[in-house]
Amino acid sequence: MAQMSKAEILFNERFSRHREEFEALYSSLYDDHESYDQLVKAMIAAAKARPADLRRLDAAREQDPEWYKRGDMFGMTMYTDLFAGDLKKLAEKIPYLKEQKLTYLHLMPLLQMPHPNNDGGYAVEDFDTVDPRLGTNEDLAALTKKLRKAGISLCLDFVMNHTASTHRWAKAAQAGDPEYQDYYFCYSDRTIPDKLEETVPQVFPNTAPGNFTWNEQMGKWVMTQFYPFQWDLNYRNPKVLVAMMSSVMHLANLGVEVFRIDAVPYIWKELGTDCRNLPQVHTIVRMLRIILECVCPAVILKGEVVMAPKELAAYFGTPDKPECHMLYNVSVMVNLWSALASQDTRLLKAQLDALNGLPDNCWFVNYLRCHDDVGWGLDEDVERGLGIDPLKHKIFLYHFFEGAVPGSWSMGELYNYDEPSQDARNCGTTASFCGIEKALITHDRPALDKAVDRDLMLHRTIAFLRGFPMLNCGDEIAQLNGWDYKEDPDRIEDSRNLHRSKFDWDKATLRKQKGTLQNRLWEGMESLREERKDPCFAPDAWVSTWDTANDAVLAMVRKIDGETLVGLFNFSNAPQHVHLNGSPQVMDALDADLEPYETKFVRR
């Protein structure tokens, strides 16, 4: 019998703590011992193949499991090609990232994809291979090593719900192979699809209506909840689970430290349900968490869960049986923009109260803009309780941010407008949404000053919230909308390309030149990092909103070990006065005056 390696011994020690639960989780979904054995073998193989430097990182993170909750965490998201061209060139730009003291870099999908129809990289052809246009697996491993040396953890998307229709599994299914047809949901007639359509909402009712697409070559209907070229995976088939988990481990061994698991609420389908947030989803996410803790414990999970706060806590699991380490704070992002347009923070405060009321293991990545649109998924029950008409408010918001409401300073575009429901979303960069683009076009200096104040006030707000802030690449230099996408036939059909434009390196050179727009934003972002050095940004700090007796101003309180920090954020275009009542357990009463879009930090 061959002697076990140190890596295998360590894996066995870790797995022994989880084996009983892992087997039970697997057995609750599948009756297939062969696939279970294949999964465990894949875990052992990945543990043995893990590079030595990553094993050292594993050991360090096991001693510091809440490393991602530190106050100095500061993130950025970007597309590799738009920022630098490819992975090798991006590695050359690390000094620019270090200059911003980034600790977290989220690169948009970079695995092999079809061109041009790839949904921004979320249609994946090969989960184990970097797209040739961006580089090689070796380039990715080299980049992650350089980022680690710079103190930056790399996050990649892992698209769990679907593959591209050009994936090798989908090609085999289209060629008539029943084994690979069982990797997806394929039906010869409309009986099951019609039953599912009765209860499953449409993701893109305007641009991609329905949840099934007819495949002529295969002669079957295939489930495609997102776009016709994205085929939903069938996780009822254990071979799908084994293959996808193996790919996660492979990417982790290339140095990926954070996985953003995409569209995870959708991955389990059940007749008679809306196929969202089903219990089996949590079983799979819990299994993934165990796999990471046993094979590569330095690696953490970030969930993309675009759901109401009541649905979010489940994706963190429990302290004893955790799932995701953190989630994208989608709901607060939407409420921030709503508060800015309406100059009313009541909805935002209610949403923050709901999130702050979640268990202590819930942690968030806070952001204003990302690769995606802004969808106006506000809490309609709360809106009605505040006397706000949900539909009228949504219509106001999407017209405001496209610049079609009198008095709007925003420049953006609609996305996915649906006339029957009057639903729509918005596209645009942070700077353009805040009025910087319009002020520059009209040469209105006072308007520009206010637009910059809006921009920085929003960023200071996300930096104060529970979790850590993440910039969208270009926010730090006030990058504007890229209207030239309309001149590209491959991009014109998707208005999200408005905020997916090439990074403006010429503008970036102005970041250190006093008096420039870029310098004002750059120094503003530096102030965010300084703000978060305060001891009140410790992971276990108490965080709460506070009543200001003024709906235009949001107040947040952070408290730890006798230290209390109050953040005041004026979301209105006018000066405001606030009064905060005192509390014997928290702080003395406070009165303050704020200029339009001003932020104040007060020590109590």
pLDDT digits (tens, 9 = 90+) for 416-456: 898 888 999 999 999 999 999 999 999 999 999 999 999 99
Average pLDDT over residues 488-497: 92
Per-residue pLDDT tens digits for 7-48: 999 999 999 999 999 999 999 999 999 999 999 999 999 999
| Strand pairing category for 563-570 and 599-603 | antiparallel
pLDDT at 229: 97
Q: What is residue 305's predicted lDDT score, i.e. its pLDDT?
A: 80
Q: Residue 458, class by beta-carbon neighbours within 10 Å (0-12 exposed, 13-18 middle, 19+ buried)?
A: buried
Is a pLDDT exceeding 90 seen at residue 4?
no
CA–CA dist 303, 315 (Å, integer): 8
Provide the pLDDT for residue 360: 83
CA angle 170–175–181, rounded 5-degree value: 50
Selected catalytic residue, list 257, 262, 531, 551 = 262
What integer is the mean pLDDT of 106-131?
96
Do residues 371 and 500 lie in contact, with contact meaning Cβ atoms separated by under 8 Å? yes
Mean pLDDT of 59-82: 96
Cis peptide bond prior to 116, omega within 30° of 0: yes
Instruction: Provide the mean pLDDT of the chain.
Output: 96
**Domains observed in the chain:** 162-232 (3.90.400.10), 375-529 (3.20.20.80), 542-603 (2.60.40.1180)
Q: 75 pairs with which residues across the strands?
A: 104, 470
Question: Residue 525 is which amino acid?
Answer: M
Distance of CA 338 to CAs 327, 377, 382, 469, 501, Å? 21, 10, 14, 19, 25
Per the document, the length of the chain is 604
User: What is the tens place of the pLDDT at every residue in 175-228?
Assistant: 999 999 999 999 999 999 999 999 999 988 878 899 999 999 999 999 999 999
Segment 536-543 shows an average pLDDT of 94
Q: Please tell me the least confidently modeled range out of 88-92, 200-204, 321-325, 547-551.
A: 200-204
Strands (E), 24-81: 75-78
Mean pLDDT of the region 220-238: 97
Those residues with Cβ within 8 angstroms of residue 539's Cβ, 6 or more apart along the chain or in another chain:
66, 69, 70, 71
Residue pair 264/161 in contact (Cβ under 8 Å)? The answer is: yes
Structure tokens at 491: 């991009």
Are the beta carbons of 415 and 401 closer than 8 angstroms?
Answer: no
Q: Which of 157, 257, 304, 437 is catalytic?
A: 304
pLDDT digits (tens, 9 = 90+) for 254-304: 999 999 999 899 999 999 999 999 999 999 999 999 999 999 999 999 998
Per-residue pLDDT at 1 exceeds 60: no
**Is 304 known to be catalytic?**
yes
Find out whether 261 and 285 touch, Cβ atoms under 8 Å: yes
Q: What percent of the chain has pLDDT over 70?
A: 99
pLDDT-based confidence at 2, cuts 50/70/90?
low
Average pLDDT over residues 223-236: 97
Residue 594: closest CA among 453, 448, 433 = 453
Which stretch of DSSP H or E encloses residue 573? none
For residue 430, count CB atoms less than 10 angstroms from its CB and return exposed for 0-12, middle for 13-18, buried for 19 or more: buried
At 137 the pLDDT is 98
Strand order in the sheet with 413-418: 374-375, 423-427, 413-418
Spatial separation of the C-alpha atoms in residues 259 and 328, rounded to whole Å: 12
